[in-house]
Structure 1
């Protein structure tokens, strides 16, 4: 039974059988061909049996395994590796089907490979999950052609794997690496000009590309025979909280991810940068109730705590309670802090309803409200109009776009900092604002 389940016929075998049937029919018209057809058919059957014998004479002719990280990064392209080892005495042509988690809704994950005898082939592909949570991979199916490519043998490696998908730690590591090498500008992070040198002097160190030339210490450079610069450090131990709205306004999708996921990914990156700046990072999530509060700290385990909390966040489909948010901040956050509120306002009236509570929060903390451009509206605004209906649609889009800009103006009039950004540029714009606050001594 196992033999039958693992035996498959190739298209070449079907072509041969179809040709044989055609020749037999032709032999009824030309009887002289019958003997030749019988001989050819017999040779074909023998070749098929030899091909089958070569494949099935060895019970474990190939071996395959999947390799990936212990956790995947949401919204990023994650590397998946399949190692295929050929234990046959001849080269093989193989088709590999990897059973992906149902969340990807992908059934054509097929790869083809040629592997020499005794060698291992590495198949590499990437996956981009768009939801946090648990993902289960199924078996690896390998279909191996015989030397004559007439039959196939199926190998099934039951490598069921369950892997969690966390907020985008790959994006966080990418920003961290660029920060270490002074190449953050490649991601769009601006070089913020420090206003004066109110920051504390830290050390004299060697010059590296990207350093401000005005900080060169010429006396130290002359002594060392290389360029040396004065290094300054920002004020430390400031509290930075990322507050994430989980209400229904954050369910809107963009490029597969919800606005909530974009806010979560940006919060993880910003928390890591704040910790590297020697600040204290914390998280608060809320909707119609306060869901989670991670007090701002600077411990070595703080980033892992933040990641574990962000991993479990889900959108709640009720309107968020900003009065409750204000009460929680007054009760839990006693020290003046930088608060980054990730939310979304689609209308000016919606923002005005929450404005009294935002003004109260801004009295005690430095508040930055981060909300999103409607990218679909931007696409409509750039289209030409050819009909009356399109004119009306574009007019409505312009109204909503205007209201977004009015929200920024309204917040500014009440002394509240804000960012209106597309989801794609959320992380960069948030980092730029944070660094701007640090350079001005506001944070």
Structure 2
């Protein structure tokens, strides 16, 4: 129990008035205010229940609704406050009579929403109680950005990622499974032209091929120390997990088998390639966190194994040639057997520094350092390409799209 600001104001007024009032009357006034405050607080000391609604799974960077309603019609006024973990924000976090708020997680993982706190103020506005509601805590999971990943899947389904989109009878492109003969389109590859059908029809005709399904797609998710570095409002690992999510859901949509190996100096998580493996990979890796150890790429590459050709996409950070030396040394192990893609996030802030007009001498030095960082990344990427890997990079918001485009391009060229 505690007095409100109104009660404190009344006591202060009585104290000021005591200069003019007889002492017994001033004491009586103070006692009256304190008694009224106590009675007001006691009238609302009973505990209240609440109904709280929150989704069990939310996405990082996406707002989700949280509602709290007070059960019954209590006397006085009730303010509801909901504490949240530091890795998320709640807007608003306090409201009178109930709470209808937006929950915004900023980090992936498992979290607990503790019981809300009710502040009950008596009808006179003099006394109040602050009490935690006796309800169970809510455990929930913060997944990667599923909204953005599903948006990419929708674009693939509607054929907005070039020739590898999905039509009524499956994804089409320059695969090897014959689908049908149709009229030549201006963007058709010359290899699709059916010359015999063209001669018979008297106009250009093309073969259309179905891109094969049931191919293996494996993501190697780097959890080493370099992946903890921030890029914008998230970590490099956050960006990589978002890219893995988009790639996995697109693979599910196109009927391929998807798997993931999350590693640092050892294998931490593993999902073998399977149908609908993208959804399984998200459930298995949504809460992975970077560790302060160097990544062992040889261990991860050896874990891929298998004689069946697959697309292996390594989601890592290309800091410079020396940091990527172990990756470059391990690439030939996979590049001889699989289609290997190395994807990394590009920091847009560093790129912006190199393009900014220097305003003072220090800015020239800053731009020089930024340019050397980009040159070191380019050198590391060139070494990887020389060993047989394909390299992909993108901004924090663009890496998922870049990875999906690389995957669809390899499917369209029958590289898987």
> What TM-score results when the alignment is normalised by the length of structure 1?
0.73
Cross-structure match for 1:237: 214
2:265 pairs with 1:271: no
2:66 pairs with 1:80: yes
Q: Which moved more, 1:134-143 or 1:272-281?
A: 134-143
Q: Do the aligned partners of 1:75 and 1:257 also contact (CA within 8 Å) in 2?
A: no
* Long gaps (5+) in structure 2: 165-171, 181-185, 189-207
2:16 pairs with 1:22: yes
- In structure 2, the CA distance between the partners of 1:47 and 1:291, relative to structure 1 (3 Å rule), is closer
What does the per-residue CA deviation read over 1:28-80, in whole Å, with 9 as the maximum and x for residues that have no partner? 7xx9xx97x79977876676466446434xx34x4224322234434543433
2:81 pairs with 1:97: yes
CA RMSD of aligned residues (A): 3.8
Q: What aligned pairs does 1:10-409 form with structure 2 within 5 A after superposition?
A: 10-27=4-21, 48=37, 51-52=40-41, 54-56=43-45, 59-60=46-47, 62-88=48-74, 92-101=76-85, 103-104=86-87, 110-113=93-96, 115=97, 121-132=98-109, 134-161=110-137, 163-168=139-144, 171-172=145-146, 175-176=149-150, 179-180=153-154, 182=155, 191-193=161-163, 198=175, 234-298=211-275, 302-303=277-278, 305-311=280-286, 313-329=288-304, 332-409=305-382
Q: Residue 336 of structure 2 aligns to a residue in which SS? A: helix
Q: Residue 126 of structure 1 aligns to a residue in which SS? A: strand
- State how many pairs are aligned: 385
Cross-structure match for 1:223: none
> What TM-score results when the alignment is normalised by the length of structure 2?
0.78
What does the per-residue CA deviation read over 1:117-148, in whole Å, with 9 as the maximum and x for residues that have no partner? xxxx442231314142x423333211122223
Which of the two has greater helix per residue?
1
* Long gaps (5+) in structure 1: 1-6, 116-120, 204-211, 215-230
Cross-structure match for 1:9: 3
Deviation at 1:353, TM superposition (A): 4.8
Q: Do the aligned partners of 1:93 and 1:112 also contact (CA within 8 Å) in 2?
A: no
- In structure 2, the CA distance between the partners of 1:178 and 1:420, relative to structure 1 (3 Å rule), is closer
Hey, which bits of structure 1, 4+ residues long, moved more than 6 A?
A: 37-43, 105-109
Inter-partner Cα distance in structure 1 for 2:268 and 2:129: 53
Deviation at 1:305, TM superposition (A): 3.8
What does the per-residue CA deviation read over 1:206-257, in whole Å, with 9 as the maximum and x for residues that have no partner? xxxxxx999xxxxxxxxxxxxxxxx985311000001112222212123453
